[in-house]
Structure 1
Amino acid sequence: MQNDNMKCGLTEEKQNLFVDTIEKEAYVWRENNWKHDDYEHVHQRAQLTFVEDGYQYFHIDQRIYLVPQHHVIWIPSGKAHKITSEAKTVNLMLFLFKSVFEDDFYRNVHVFSVPPVLKEMLLYASKWNKSLIENEEQDIFFKAILKSLPNFCKESNRLEIPVPADTRLIPVCQDINSNFKYNLDIDSLAEKAQMSVRSLQRTFKNETGITLQKYHQLTRILKSIELIDAQQYTLSEVAYKVGYQSLSAFTSSYFTVMKTKPRLNKNQAVS
């Protein structure tokens, strides 16, 4: 019988600490209409999360990672993270691994789109959903998935929004997040940060690894994903709501970030 404090196969001893009592090397936990606590937690298994439907935000190390539908996120063991989402429905598959291969890939967080081969492998693995019984085929199959991840990730998208540690930049980020629909006003942002324009641009890039323009673009595209998921608007309406003057401009910007064109679900209106 499943413990009420068990989540993803792990037992939650207190609000943010999960204890692993499972002997299996690796297992999968698939769940529809995912409900997750929105506080930070940590566990001693590496985690591969596949978003089948909806989208999730992962808050890790002063960064917010977006994981849209048909994307995965790799989180190393012992890495504290928090999950949030405003999606109507979130269907997830979590693969948890006790040990990983010796490769730099496994020590860092990665988000990337799932190619067809990996998608089929993940869906096939769902036949072992929540099974804690030892199974030789499963062990071999999961090791194959694990071993192949670095190659699948080579064309990784940058889908994280950095959160700067420099407090002078917080009002800058807040302004962009509130006014993403409008063009950047660098002079106004510099005033908010109490810096020169040149100093702001340099400090922001050093703190976040991306330019103000890229941060603005990411904010727009991530907001568009939420609007598309809401299933209330055509693509042209979404483009306008996030600040683009034409569908073609929005599509081009979306493709730059997501490496795919924006699409509505089959039951949504078309533009």
Structure 2
Amino acid sequence: MNKFSHESLSPELIHLLGHDERAPAHTHDLGHLVYPATGVLSLVTSDGSWIAPSNRVVWVPADFEHQHRAHGAADMRVVFLPAQMAAALVDRPAVLATTPLATEAMLALTGPGRRTKASTDRLRLVILDELTATGEQPLHLPEPRDDRLLAVTKLVEEDLANPVSLAELGRQVGASERTLTRLFQQETGMTVRQWRAELRVHRALLLLADGLSVYDTAAECGWANPGSFITAFTSLVGMSPGRYQHSLRG
């Protein structure tokens, strides 16, 4: 694991990542916001994964070990927050919905122009005001710890197009449906159905970023028809699959 001081980063705080490029596990001494101006970014930790398209921002607290992965060519903007400002946000990673004002402030902060500390802090406060008003977004996929749950999640991930009942999954991993239901709630805070729905949207974000059509993405992720896929995707991501793909091309 690498430990980075924020002073060692480029002054623009812009990182261009190629498709499927990954950053090694590392921490920073300040909490920071990560915004994909283009592309899609995954944040991976031991507690699970968070995913952010261009209408979302990932919050990473100070000293929290994490990795980044780009899906599509990603223009990653990083905004560091002093400890007193970071206290306004949660003490764990989270995905937050951005706003046009917050987006412009982040682009301004990470642009080439030099700013005074007072100017920088004003823009940081604008971003915080906007992001705390929109709140945390449901684009976090928790990682269970129990070996049986890990086996179940692997089976689900390997074949999203063919849903298998929890009872059948339990038979394959040697646990009852009741036990798996209880463990899933305890370890992830989700029901199995909620976790699977989140996983399907995560997978859809990546497949769409790779250029797969909306119709084929729906089938690949196990939706019976494109209409139900569009509804589920829009409710979690905040935009339709077609609009999301268009934003990536932009």
TM norm structure 1: 0.80
String of CA shifts for 1:53-94, please: whole Å, max 9, x gaps.
111211224211111222101111111111223x23111110
> Aligned-pair distance for 1:246?
1.4
For the structure 1 residues 73 and 193, does the alpha-carbon distance in structure 2 shift closer, same or farther, using more than 3 Å as the test?
Answer: same
Query: Would you say how many aligned residue pairs link Structure 1 and Structure 2?
Result: 244
> Aligned-pair distance for 1:214?
1.4
Does the aligned pair in 1 maintain the 2:96–2:131 contact within 8 Å?
no
Residue 230 of structure 1, aligned match among 210, 214, 223: 210
Report the 3-state secondary structure (helix = DSSP H, G, I; strand = E; otherwise coil) of the residue aligned with 1:127: coil
**Is 1:123 the counterpart of 2:102 in the alignment?**
no
Identical positions, percent: 17
Structure number with higher helix proportion = 2
Does the aligned pair in 2 maintain the 1:128–1:138 contact within 8 Å?
no
Separation of aligned partners in 2, 1:145 and 1:56: 19
> Aligned-pair distance for 1:143?
3.2
> Aligned-pair distance for 1:188?
1.8
Separation of aligned partners in 2, 1:159 and 1:188: 27
Which sections of structure 1, spanning at least 5 residues, go unmatched? 1-14
**Is 1:109 the counterpart of 2:93 in the alignment?**
yes
For the structure 1 residues 128 and 141, does the alpha-carbon distance in structure 2 shift closer, same or farther, using more than 3 Å as the test?
Answer: farther
Give the partner amino acid of 2:218: A
Of the two, which has the highest radius of gyration? 1
Residue in structure 1 matched with residue 229 of structure 2 by the alignment: 250
For the structure 1 residues 100 and 219, does the alpha-carbon distance in structure 2 shift closer, same or farther, using more than 3 Å as the test?
Answer: same
Q: What do you get for the CA RMSD once the two structures are aligned?
A: 2.5
Which sections of structure 2, spanning at least 5 residues, go unmatched? none
**Is 1:59 the counterpart of 2:38 in the alignment?**
no
User: What does 1:139-178 align with in structure 2 at a 5 Å threshold?
Assistant: 139-152=121-134, 154=135, 156-178=136-158
**Is 1:17 the counterpart of 2:18 in the alignment?**
no
Does the aligned pair in 2 maintain the 1:255–1:262 contact within 8 Å?
yes
Separation of aligned partners in 2, 1:117 and 1:42: 28
Does the aligned pair in 2 maintain the 1:53–1:70 contact within 8 Å?
no
> Aligned-pair distance for 1:102?
7.3
Separation of aligned partners in 2, 1:173 and 1:247: 24
Residue in structure 2 matched with residue 96 of structure 1 by the alignment: 80
Separation of aligned partners in 2, 1:100 and 1:127: 24
Residue in structure 2 matched with residue 194 of structure 1 by the alignment: 174
> Aligned-pair distance for 1:222?
1.2
Separation of aligned partners in 1, 2:86 and 2:195: 33
Does the aligned pair in 1 maintain the 2:14–2:77 contact within 8 Å?
yes
Give the partner amino acid of 2:60: I
Separation of aligned partners in 1, 2:108 and 2:7: 25
Does the aligned pair in 1 maintain the 2:12–2:111 contact within 8 Å?
no
